Chains A and B, each alone.
Chain A
């Protein structure tokens, strides 16, 4: 538990001191969403219809963009090796790093999302569900993404490769995330998609740290 807290505090401190990184992710998220009204035209009905999907896809891509920094810097300067040698199990280290990463890059996305929903003219019934779905979904995305980020350490053309590996695994989160919001907008109960999102998060929380840790061990061999 000590190791968990130490790495969490260290990562948060590092991120706060070079604050640009997390801001960049949010800025990308905002710009990506803003491109859609410009691309498909400012017709309010079309935008309202598209809003949940566009916001979720943009969130997905923002998470993807932020992932290459999750282990890369620590891998290059050797601190990852020290963490692997340290007393805390590598799985705990992974969990702490993912939690810190989510607090720094995931939470700002969730804060920015309602503003974007207003810009996209989304019906007000969906706002609470948008935040709730993102709260359940983005940690799952970060956990799944950490697996890919661990696997591509030291690979050629890592960024493109990461997208190819991880985006197919993101699809279930996208489907149920959008499903919850659209159910709320349409006046249906959103319980089932939310429960499935929660199940995805629980599954990812239980399984992904193991996979990520074994990927990191191979990278450090």
Chain B
């Protein structure tokens, strides 16, 4: 399975099939979910219309953690099996994850101002997500800090794996500490505590954000593979 995808040509072929599907699913789910979220879902009885920020905030926060998990797993696979496509996936994931993290922080601040009366509080959930953002930045900086790209990939892979300790901390921060941020309301032992009219658009948005990530990840990886091929061809021509 791992070796099967280590072949860049096979990877290009497979992602060539998958790309249009991912793009279509993304547009469909974000389109329908966005419409339901913005126009066709009830305002919250306490928060009023600001609750609609949640339909962007929650999916971005989920994706911020999902991307970091992807990053850490691909980094580990790249480090352990010297898997070239996994290294590529890790490098391509980082900027996307950083953007999702920034989006989660930004929408959280925009929601916090009218609801909590402040843009930012130093509670455990917000702080740990901010650390996640710094970890993404550190990963990208370390990845590009070496003249030899292979060394950069390995060094940053170790950092990504070490930084993974932060992900469970983010997940449990609302349970371990008494935070201003509300605790989980979708994945719970006793079922979601959100009403269906709000749950469906949220789930659609989460699905759409996930396929968007898959789409952009494939695009970025394909672009890097093609860029590498172009570089090799230029070198070949220069040698002639």
**With A211-B158, A214-B158, A215-B155 in contact, is A151–B142 under 8 Å at CB?**
yes
**With A165-B142, A168-B131, A211-B162 in contact, is A154–B137 under 8 Å at CB?**
no
| Cα–Cα, bound, A218→B159 (Å) | 13
Q: Which residues in A have some Cβ–Cβ distance to B below 8 Å?
A: 147-148, 151-152, 154-158, 161, 164-165, 167-169, 171, 207, 211, 214-215, 218-219, 221
* Contact yes or no, A168 B158, CB < 8 A: no
**With A147-B162, A164-B137, A214-B158 in contact, is A154–B142 under 8 Å at CB?**
no
* Contact yes or no, A171 B131, CB < 8 A: yes
User: Which chain A residues lie closer than 8 Å to B159 at the CB level?
Assistant: 148, 151, 165
| Cα–Cα, bound, A158→B142 (Å) | 9
Residue of A nearest to B166 (CB): A168
A–B complex contacts, Cβ < 8 Å, 17 sampled = A151-B155, A152-B142, A152-B155, A155-B146, A157-B145, A158-B145, A164-B137, A165-B138, A165-B141, A165-B142, A168-B163, A169-B163, A171-B127, A207-B162, A211-B161, A219-B155, A221-B151
The 9 closest A-B pairs by CB, nearest first: A155-B145, A168-B134, A165-B138, A151-B155, A168-B131, A218-B154, A164-B138, A156-B145, A161-B145
Residues of B122-169 whose CB lies within 8 A of A: 127, 131, 134-135, 137-138, 141-142, 145-147, 151, 154-156, 158-159, 161-163
Among B135, B154, B156, B161, residue most surrounded by chain A Cβ atoms (within 10 Å): B154
User: Which chain B residues lie closer than 8 Å to A158 at the CB level?
Assistant: 145
* Contact yes or no, A164 B146, CB < 8 A: no
User: Which chain A residues lie closer than 8 Å to B145 at the CB level?
Assistant: 152, 155-158, 161
* Contact yes or no, A164 B141, CB < 8 A: yes
Extra pairs beyond A151-B158, A157-B145, A168-B163 (8, CB < 8 Å) = A155-B146, A156-B147, A161-B142, A164-B134, A164-B137, A165-B138, A218-B151, A219-B155
* Contact yes or no, A154 B163, CB < 8 A: no
Main secondary structure of the interface of A (DSSP, over half): helix
Main secondary structure of the interface of B (DSSP, over half): helix
Q: Among the listed B127, B147, B158, B162, which residue makes an inter-chain contact with A169, where contact means beta carbons less than 8 Å apart?
A: B162
* Contact yes or no, B158 A215, CB < 8 A: yes
Residue of A nearest to B162 (CB): A211
Count of chain B residues with a beta carbon within 8 Å of a chain A beta carbon: 20
Among A154, A168, A211, residue most surrounded by chain B Cβ atoms (within 10 Å): A168
User: Which chain B residues lie closer than 8 Å to A154 at the CB level?
Assistant: 146, 151
* Contact yes or no, A161 B146, CB < 8 A: no
User: Which chain A residues lie closer than 8 Å to B135 at the CB level?
Assistant: 168
| Cα–Cα, bound, A137→B30 (Å) | 47
| Cα–Cα, bound, A146→B155 (Å) | 13
User: Which chain B residues lie closer than 8 Å to A211 at the CB level?
Assistant: 158, 161-162
| Cα–Cα, bound, A215→B79 (Å) | 11
Residues of B89-144 whose CB lies within 8 A of A: 127, 131, 134-135, 137-138, 141-142
| Cα–Cα, bound, A167→B142 (Å) | 14
**With A155-B146, A168-B135 in contact, is A161–B141 under 8 Å at CB?**
yes
| Cα–Cα, bound, A151→B162 (Å) | 12
* Contact yes or no, B134 A218, CB < 8 A: no
| Cα–Cα, bound, A121→B142 (Å) | 40
* Contact yes or no, B142 A155, CB < 8 A: yes
User: Which chain A residues lie closer than 8 Å to B137 at the CB level?
Assistant: 164
Residue of B nearest to A148 (CB): B159
Residue of B nearest to A158 (CB): B145
| Cα–Cα, bound, A218→B150 (Å) | 10
A98 CB → nearest B CB, Å: 16
* Contact yes or no, B146 A156, CB < 8 A: yes
User: Which chain B residues lie closer than 8 Å to A164 at the CB level?
Assistant: 134, 137-138, 141
User: Which chain B residues lie closer than 8 Å to A171 at the CB level?
Assistant: 127, 131
| Cα–Cα, bound, A148→B159 (Å) | 8
A101 CB → nearest B CB, Å: 19
| Cα–Cα, bound, A157→B138 (Å) | 13
Chain B, 48-90, contact with A by CB distance < 8 Å: what is the 0/1 string? 0000000000000000000000000000000000000000000
Q: Among the listed A156, A168, A207, A218, which residue makes an inter-chain contact with B155, where contact means beta carbons less than 8 Å apart?
A: A218
B99 CB → nearest A CB, Å: 18
Residue of A nearest to B161 (CB): A211
